[in-house]
Each structure stands twice: as C-alpha cells, then as structure tokens.
Amino acid sequence: MTAPNSANIDTLNWVGDIDGHLRMIDQTLLPVEFLRIDLRDVETVWEAIKMLRVRGAPAIGIAAAYGVCVGVQNAVDGSVEGFFSRLNEVADYLASSRPTAVNLFWALERMRKTAELLRNASSPRDIAAALLAEARVIHEEDRRMCRAMGRHGAALLEDGQGVLTHCNAGGLATADYGTALAVFFAAAESGKRLHVYADETRPLLQGARLTAWELQQRGIEVTVICDSMAAQVMREGRIQAVVTGADRIAANGDAANKIGTYGVAVAAAAHDIPFYVAAPSSTFDLSLASGDLIPIEQRDPREITHGFGRQTAPDGVDVYNPAFDVTPARLIKSLICEHGLIEPVTTEEVARVLSLGPEST
C-alpha cells in the first residue's frame, strides 16, 4: 500500500457499519513499510495497543472506542443483559492493555455511559449502533481538538526558530494532526519556517521512526538526534522552544509523557528555553492531585536488551524499563489545550481553562 499524501495520515478508520471493522496503520513497521491492517476482534485490538501498532494517547483512546464496537458484535442478537455483560467484559479487557494514557480510560468510560443511557429503551443492535456513533464522535472531536491546539500553540513560535520534540505526538498518535506536532504544522501553514530537532526516543525510537517520517511527509525540516544529545544541542543555541505531548496530566499540571521528557524539561530549564506541553482535555486526569499518582507503565526488558532484533546487553543483566516519566508543572511554561493556553501551570488555572466551553475552541 502506498504512503498517504502529506496532509492526511488517517492513522485509524472504521470500515463499514456495525458489523464492520477497525483499520489502522501498523506503526511498528514505519518508516520502512507503510501498511494498514484490519482488526476484526477485540483480542487483536488489545494486542495492537499493547504492542504499539497504534500508540500515542489520543489514538489509543480512539482505537479502544472502536475496539468496543468490534468486541460487542457477537452479542447484538442476544438479550440486553448478555449485551451489557459482554460490553463490560470487553471494556475491562481493553482497559488492561496499557496503564498510563488516560485517554484509554476516558474513551472506555464514554462508551459505557453511552450504552447505559439506552439500557432500558433499546435493543442490543440499537445500542451497538449508538456505540459506533459515539466512537465516531470521539474520533471526530479529536480531529477538531488537534486543529485548535495547533492554532493556539503556533502563536508561541516565531519564524526561523529551532524547536525540539520528544517521542511522537503527531498525526500518527491522534486522529490526524497531532498535539505537539500540530503546533509545528500550524506554524508552518501560517508561513513560519521552523527547524525541528526530533529526539530519537529510546528504546522504541518513536522520534526517529515516526516523528521524522511525519515531518518529512509534510515537508518540514527535521534533524534526528540521539536523546543524549539534547542538552548539547540546546547549549549550541539551536533550540528556542520545546514542545511535547502528554499521556496524562494531573490536576496540578504535572505531565506524564514518554520516558526522557522530564530530562528534556530539566535541560530546557537550564538553558532558559520555554518548555510547552500540548494535550487535549481528554488527556487531563483531574482525579489525581499530582503527577506522583500517575501510574507508570513498565515494559518488557527485551525492548532495551534486544531492540529491533539485535542483542545489545549481556544475557541475564538486570534492566529497568519505565515507559513514561513525569515532568513537574514548575518546569512547564504553558499547557496548550483545545481551549487555549494554561499559564501559569497551576491547579487553579488548569481547572479554570478546562471548564471553558467548546465555543472557545
């Protein structure tokens, strides 16, 4: 299959009606191969989330919503009780795939609530149709939130700047435009020329494989650096701003993102470089007072010792592999969400901006 045109990555699609299926780009194959895969049962959707075929907080949420639609297909011709029992089983199962990105739990909760509202008045088939409609709404809302974040964030950047990002917070990680990368795309569309430095992002190289690919697709200048080079690149004066995404933001603005983000924020602070985090309201978890409470995913040590098919550490060596870290709010100049900028990053300002209505987007 051929690569998309530059403006349309479309990382996820639903094909057909309630008896249809989920189609997604298999991100583990990029940048060497661009392949869309079809997912027709909930186990395959779970595996795709766990193995990062689809990854990035918003995209995980959208995939899970469609995963529910796939998962309830075998219960649409039975009783209402049987349908709800299957729905809960499927939602609990999908929730066990990855723990950090709150968008996963947020989307599953929306799906459960949609079904609950129809429990007494509809047939399982009608509820399944409403679930598919809700998944499509979640998908479409994310598209709009990405565009709004792009607009708000682009105003922070100036023509000719060097900017740095970590991991991939682009179209691949969202409905189509990204969070952090949306800021770069919108700035470029408004005529600002940026040079993006993409941390390669150990151990799974989302920066080198995915961010570099996406920026190339959209014709934005990009230079890949090893994670360990970021501080030196800042010291050389090449970076005027850092923008990353997030997987979960606590009520006080502490932000969990791909492992290595915290170190980038510390280095940015040491060089007086503004550090921004772009994330939609679906990534905020106001039930957690601070980032200390965010669950951090621990992943297979083999991602470090045997990455991409080659052994790079001795047999039997101890390995620690947290997939995320937490950047404290005090290191973040602004949070960029679809409602606008959250600055200063405090509990009060997070609550205030998130309570703004959709008309502000």
Which residues belong to the active site?
Answer: 247
Cβ nearer to ligand MRU, comparing 52 with 230:
52
Chain residues binding ligand MRU by CB under 6 A are: 52, 55-58, 101, 167, 169, 173-174, 179, 206, 245-247, 257-258, 323
Cβ nearer to ligand MRU, comparing 131 with 338:
338
Min CB(19)–ligand MRU separation in Å: 29
Min CB(160)–ligand MRU separation in Å: 25
Cβ nearer to ligand MRU, comparing 233 with 249:
249
Residue of closest CB approach to ligand MRU: 245
Cβ nearer to ligand MRU, comparing 214 with 349:
214
Secondary structure, 3-state, the chain: CCCCCCCCCCCEEEECCCCCEEEEECCCCCCCCCCEEEECCHHHHHHHHHCCCCCCHHHHHHHHHHHHHHHCHHHCCCCHHHHHHHHHHHHHHHHCCCCCCHHHHHHHHHHHHHHHHCCCCCCHHHHHHHHHHHHHHHHHHHHHHHHHHHHHHHCCCCCCCEEEECCCCCHHHCCCCCCHHHHHHHHHHCCCCCEEEEECCCCCCHHHHHHHHHHHHCCCEEEEECHHHHHHHHHCCCCCEEEECCCEEECCCCEEEECCHHHHHHHHHHCCCCEEEECCHHHEECCCCCHHHCCCCECCCHHHHCHHHCCCCCCCCCCCCECEEEECHHHCCEEEECCEEECCCCHHHHHHHHCCCHHHC
Min CB(247)–ligand MRU separation in Å: 5
Min CB(33)–ligand MRU separation in Å: 18
Min CB(279)–ligand MRU separation in Å: 7
